[in-house]
Structure 1
Amino acid sequence: MSSIMTKSLKVLAGLAVVAGLVAGAPALAAGGHAKPLQKGNFSFEGPFGTFDQAELQRGYKVYREVCSSCHSMKLISFRNLGQKGGPFYDEEYKNPNDNPVVKQIASEFEVPEIDPETGDEVTRKATTSDRFPSPFRNDDAAKASNGGALPPDLSVMAKARKHGPDYIYSLLQGYDPEPVGLTVAPGQHYNVYFPGDLSASWKGDHHKVPPGGVLAMAAPLTEGRVTFDDGTPSTLKNQAKAVAAFITWTSEPHAIERKQTGIAVMLYLLIFFGITYMAYRQVWKGKH
């Protein structure tokens, strides 16, 4: 029996070590010397904040025209765009599958399908029930087109990064010229907001290593890169803020509904507490 217990303890100890390493990995990855993030001051921040629908529409356009050429959003369906709180929600169409704007957006995409008669892979126009198609056939093709690096899926990127909205907003504006004395390998790009350790590539004073890191993604946004339909100036800051808001929405499309539900529950509990307290006072008023 003691032998079995000893083996069990060893297994548990091994699992604990693995769990500790896994838990520690994100902290190591995020522990670089980076410049403090910019504050986006987004409309959805705080307990009473909500998404700005016009900003979400601008963000979708930035994603569609720029980001979608490399980054997938595998967890988002076209119909999500027309749900309540989404960028193209219209109260006239309670069912987002009936929303003509969403239908039009979906029809602009081609999605793969298997022909049931021949077994061949074919493509068809997407429908509102389809998910956003990946820009590459597989991960190997994605790596080959991006210098060996796999572009991350953006579906939940805002939740996957600490201070997600501000991180995305800052990163997209953080492509500063390389400091003199910093050696950046071909295919890599310097970004002041990307966490990393540049000491090995820095030829200057090692007490003054520049902030930031290097990543495979080149600067995706430039002034005037996307023309906004509502006339909003297409500055780098406005593009970065819009797409950061859109990616935050895709990371949790029902966030505002949950927030409003939570506020309603808190109000209910406060009212219930008040009624209970008054009933308690009434019952025990003459018994002291």
Structure 2
Amino acid sequence: MEAIVKEFKIQTANGDTVAVSKFFAKNPSKHTLVISSATGVLQKYYSKFALFCANNGIIVYTFDYSGIGKSISSTEELKRHTGNLKNWGQQDQAAIVSLAKKENPDTNLTLMTHSIGGQILGFNPNYDLIDKVLMVASQGGYWNDFKGLHKLKMWLFWYFLIPVSTPIFGYLPTKKLGFFENLPKNVVYEWATWGKKKEYMMQFENETYLFDEIKIPILSWSFPKDSYAPIKTVDWLVKQYKNAQITRMHYPEEKQKQPGHFGFFKSEFKELLWEQNLKWILTNSLI
């Protein structure tokens, strides 16, 4: 099968624009996959894996969160963007899940989350449309749960970089620092509020959390030498989904080729990771 790619934009319930790519073959199977990105990582980063899945009969949706990538037209628009981090789950992720289910009502829908995508799932009101979740290095972000130099980097990120640079630019200029896409101000302000507390996003008494409502299978991967998502932080996140059917997988340390935080989606891991996880999407089994 040769996949077809269709690009378009939708509006979320609160009026934000979200750019979407749909990957599908002419004769798809009964499976749909929505990929929810890491913070500031563009949807195009996931296109090779999306094409691989589409060529195996899965209908795949990728998207740029509101305020980044093709979902924003200019720096001035980025400065005016008012959405926060929870909105990425409550509005953006929820809208793409709803779209995927509406267009493919008879398919089994898997949500695949990379990094923060697994955190914002707990705010997604359309969780009940999802049949299962595949988490790739999805973790908590409390700075003191990290180690060594990255612990210091996380502290500086929450306590210095975000509060100092964001008011100056009107957004977080992470591209200038050689990181990911520039981020809207309210996204990073909320993110920093989470990262300073041990309870991270779970610290608020009057918040509407949906983590306990999610009771579907979740396969959660962590990886050695992943400074962005050390095993302790991945374990912390899956514990928040206390009613889900959790399968925890830690990539073997003895493997010569290690994916780290971003490598899962590179084609060099097709045999080591893609094929195994494709099987889980299609059959609920890794064996």
Q: Please say whether Structure 1 and Structure 2 have the same fold, judged by a TM-score greater than 0.5.
A: no
TM-score computed with the length of structure 2 as normaliser = 0.22
- Name the TM-score, length of structure 1 as normaliser: 0.22
The structure number with the bigger radius of gyration is: 1
Structure with greater strand share of residues = 2
Which protein, 1 or 2, shows the higher relative CO under an 8 Å CA cutoff with sep ≥ 6?
Answer: 1
